[in-house]
A and B are shown apart, each in its own frame.
Chain A
């Protein structure tokens, strides 16, 4: 056992060791973009404090989507992508690096069919060289790739033993935005990293960007018959504590932009055996030169939202030539708005598209399963500390049995036996209503964690047949415990054939 002095030294060494690890440039970039991302999804009316927390649940899921996309890409590298990367002006990539990159099959597919309405450009600003390429504008999205080299990148790069390169915390930071949309305050998702040029061996920063746009924004832009897409490059120079801003223009011919193919399906899928989800409607299929999108809606005013990505059997599209288009983005709509007029649904993005393949005559949508999460409590029960146990509570047709309860520190702890007839072990979130969460004089430490996760317990499937709910809450005689279904698996197993020639 370590003595006190040893422990102090031990702590110092642990801190020094871990502090030496680099922070990924993608995380630094994400931190810079948080205000913009927040603005993008901000909702005007959030009637209850609880709703704010639900929004974060969505954000958690949204971030997960990016990871799914990245990992999918890492597994799927198109050979044509390798060829086209070599054509990016001013840069060459080693094959070994190319194999690590996110494939972006949709862009490869468009380029392999000669569809490249935007010209790649490269420009030098002092020692900073910036390339913008692979620009594609669809009816509601702009995607592009940027590559940057600079002396500062060379000075602040370091490579770990596993071969991954990072910029240190004192490196300059680069912000690239599109001026023509939303006054340059675009909300973009980006992914990328540091790579080495195969010929010059110089490191460069490469990012793939995707910006969501409204169809009206795109139409308004095209109606001006523009010949250039304008970008702003902002460089925050750490050493000099100053910022420089530059403009770049990407030439294009707006008359050459290919129109998306819109296929209204309006097909209802009936769901049996679920207490909440009775049906969902597959709306419009949109085939763009780079990706395929599908709108799915659920009942108006429904008290739940669905997630398609992240289940064990993700959904996908297969064409009649056997090519698979995996689902990689699930943008759930109106995730925390609630009310009779709120339309619920998902905008699904499948990787690549059959846009240019005239031999494809039909597609099959495989919708396998979804996760369902309630927006507002689907049920509640009251509980008195000291009341006789076991106590049975009904929820969504299942029987939950409280077998143990006590108050400890700042927690109400409940041991709840699950319904043995529920093979999916329905996920449940247990929560105390926000109005009961105010700290009292008798609970001075109730707010000691700054309100993080106060009043509710995230679902922990920590025992085979029990939930153990540790709810951060004041000590009360009687509690009202609310329940939400959370990430409950609902099986769809539905194949829908789409005839492209009709």
Chain B
């Protein structure tokens, strides 16, 4: 934490490399969470770019940020959800956001986007959830935000977050393939 404060102070004193040193360790998690939420890598990159600009401005205008890592994760999640809402609005001007599943546009589908060197059945299952449940799972388990923080990001009540988290767990549990269930049971 002290290191974070030193880097923020170096930013304020005009050290242009300091900001990158501050955010570089956080880029991966912020970007990957955004990809998982948005299921579209261009928009995910856009969300993190917006968070980076806002973070730098906050530092330069003297904002007191006690825990930059947690604050930035929260900020990046907010900006990912901003874009999710904007896209949902574009997809259906009349549709209700909460019921509007976001569609991939010119990008590869999530299954292709998120394929990596080793397959993860669990990740595959999470990505098959609709955004209401997927976003809660990603923010809670991957970004490790609190229920209160997720309520802020998603602009909903804490009770709704808890309810969605509960439902998402049940859905994942129900669709977890036998191989993964076995793996989990062995733990």
Which A residues lie at the B interface, using CB under 8 A?
1-2, 5-7, 9-11, 13-21, 23-24, 26-28, 30-32, 34-38, 52, 55-56, 59-60, 63-64, 67, 70-71, 74, 158, 160-162, 169, 408-409, 425, 445, 448-453, 457-458, 460-464, 470, 472
Interface pair A449/B149, CB less than 8 Å apart: yes
Interface pair B117/A20, CB less than 8 Å apart: yes
In the assembled complex, B131 has its CB within 8 A of some CB on chain A: no
Interface pair B170/A1, CB less than 8 Å apart: yes
Interface pair B96/A462, CB less than 8 Å apart: yes
Taken together as a complex, chains A and B put the C-alpha atoms of A60 and B86 apart, in Å, by 12
In the assembled complex, B102 has its CB within 8 A of some CB on chain A: no
B176 to chain A, nearest CB (A): 9
Taken together as a complex, chains A and B put the C-alpha atoms of A222 and B138 apart, in Å, by 54
Interface pair B115/A10, CB less than 8 Å apart: no
A34-B19, A38-B57, A38-B60 as given contacts; A14 in contact with B28, CB under 8 Å: no
Interface pair B170/A458, CB less than 8 Å apart: no
A14-B142, A35-B16 as given contacts; A5 in contact with B78, CB under 8 Å: no
Taken together as a complex, chains A and B put the C-alpha atoms of A28 and B20 apart, in Å, by 9
Interface pair B33/A18, CB less than 8 Å apart: yes
* Cβ–Cβ < 8 Å partners of A70 in chain B: 42
Interface pair B152/A448, CB less than 8 Å apart: yes
B142 to chain A, nearest CB (A): 5
* Cβ–Cβ < 8 Å partners of B61 in chain A: 52
Taken together as a complex, chains A and B put the C-alpha atoms of A38 and B57 apart, in Å, by 7
Interface pair B49/A63, CB less than 8 Å apart: yes
Interface pair A10/B122, CB less than 8 Å apart: yes
Taken together as a complex, chains A and B put the C-alpha atoms of A238 and B40 apart, in Å, by 30
Interface pair A5/B187, CB less than 8 Å apart: yes
In the assembled complex, B75 has its CB within 8 A of some CB on chain A: yes
A185 to chain B, nearest CB (A): 8
Interface pair B50/A162, CB less than 8 Å apart: no
In the assembled complex, B1 has its CB within 8 A of some CB on chain A: no
Interface pair B158/A409, CB less than 8 Å apart: yes
B61 to chain A, nearest CB (A): 6
Taken together as a complex, chains A and B put the C-alpha atoms of A380 and B108 apart, in Å, by 44
Taken together as a complex, chains A and B put the C-alpha atoms of A55 and B57 apart, in Å, by 10
* Chain B, range 98-153, C-beta contacts under 8 Å to A: 98, 106, 108, 112-118, 120, 122-123, 126, 137-138, 141-142, 148-149, 151-152
Interface pair B16/A14, CB less than 8 Å apart: no
Interface pair A38/B20, CB less than 8 Å apart: no
7 contacts between A and B (CB under 8 A): A5-B187, A56-B53, A59-B50, A162-B113, A448-B148, A449-B74, A450-B71
Interface pair B116/A24, CB less than 8 Å apart: no
* Cβ–Cβ < 8 Å partners of B115 in chain A: 160-162
Interface pair B28/A23, CB less than 8 Å apart: yes
* Cβ–Cβ < 8 Å partners of B38 in chain A: none
Taken together as a complex, chains A and B put the C-alpha atoms of A356 and B120 apart, in Å, by 54
Taken together as a complex, chains A and B put the C-alpha atoms of A492 and B52 apart, in Å, by 35
Interface pair B142/A27, CB less than 8 Å apart: no
Interface pair A27/B48, CB less than 8 Å apart: yes
Interface pair A460/B97, CB less than 8 Å apart: yes
* Cβ–Cβ < 8 Å partners of B142 in chain A: 14-15, 18
Taken together as a complex, chains A and B put the C-alpha atoms of A28 and B60 apart, in Å, by 20
Which B residues lie at the A interface, using CB under 8 A?
11, 16, 19-20, 23-24, 27-29, 31-33, 35-36, 41-43, 45-46, 48-50, 52-54, 56-57, 60-61, 63, 65-66, 71, 74-75, 78-79, 82, 85, 89, 93-94, 96-98, 106, 108, 112-118, 120, 122-123, 126, 137-138, 141-142, 148-149, 151-152, 155-158, 169-170, 172-173, 184-185, 187
Interface pair A27/B93, CB less than 8 Å apart: no
> CB within 8 A of A71: which of B75, B97, B106, B149?
B106
Give the 10 A-B CB pairs with smallest separation, nearest first: A17-B120, A462-B97, A17-B123, A35-B16, A9-B187, A450-B71, A449-B152, A18-B32, A11-B141, A161-B115
Interface pair A18/B45, CB less than 8 Å apart: no
A5 to chain B, nearest CB (A): 6
Interface pair B45/A26, CB less than 8 Å apart: yes
Interface pair A35/B169, CB less than 8 Å apart: no
Taken together as a complex, chains A and B put the C-alpha atoms of A160 and B118 apart, in Å, by 10
* Cβ–Cβ < 8 Å partners of B54 in chain A: 56, 59
Interface pair A37/B75, CB less than 8 Å apart: no
Taken together as a complex, chains A and B put the C-alpha atoms of A159 and B184 apart, in Å, by 30
Taken together as a complex, chains A and B put the C-alpha atoms of A118 and B98 apart, in Å, by 54
* Cβ–Cβ < 8 Å partners of A460 in chain B: 85, 89, 97, 155
Closest to A159 in B: B117
Interface pair B187/A64, CB less than 8 Å apart: no
Closest to A458 in B: B82
A306 to chain B, nearest CB (A): 18
* Cβ–Cβ < 8 Å partners of B172 in chain A: 2
Interface pair B28/A35, CB less than 8 Å apart: no
A14-B126, A17-B120, A461-B93 as given contacts; A31 in contact with B23, CB under 8 Å: yes
Interface pair A470/B112, CB less than 8 Å apart: no
Interface pair B45/A27, CB less than 8 Å apart: yes
Interface pair B29/A20, CB less than 8 Å apart: no
Interface pair B53/A23, CB less than 8 Å apart: no
Interface pair B31/A450, CB less than 8 Å apart: no
Interface pair B116/A161, CB less than 8 Å apart: yes
* Cβ–Cβ < 8 Å partners of B108 in chain A: 162
B101 to chain A, nearest CB (A): 14
Interface pair A23/B158, CB less than 8 Å apart: no
A161 to chain B, nearest CB (A): 5
* Cβ–Cβ < 8 Å partners of B42 in chain A: 67, 70-71
Interface pair A13/B169, CB less than 8 Å apart: no
* Cβ–Cβ < 8 Å partners of A18 in chain B: 29, 32-33, 36, 123, 138, 142
* Cβ–Cβ < 8 Å partners of B28 in chain A: 19, 21, 23, 169
A60-B82, A162-B115, A462-B96 as given contacts; A10 in contact with B31, CB under 8 Å: no
Interface pair B16/A36, CB less than 8 Å apart: yes
Taken together as a complex, chains A and B put the C-alpha atoms of A5 and B186 apart, in Å, by 10
Taken together as a complex, chains A and B put the C-alpha atoms of A164 and B108 apart, in Å, by 11
> CB within 8 A of B53: which of A11, A59, A162?
A59
> CB within 8 A of B46: which of A1, A16, A64, A450?
A64
A328 to chain B, nearest CB (A): 15
Taken together as a complex, chains A and B put the C-alpha atoms of A19 and B141 apart, in Å, by 12
A144 to chain B, nearest CB (A): 21
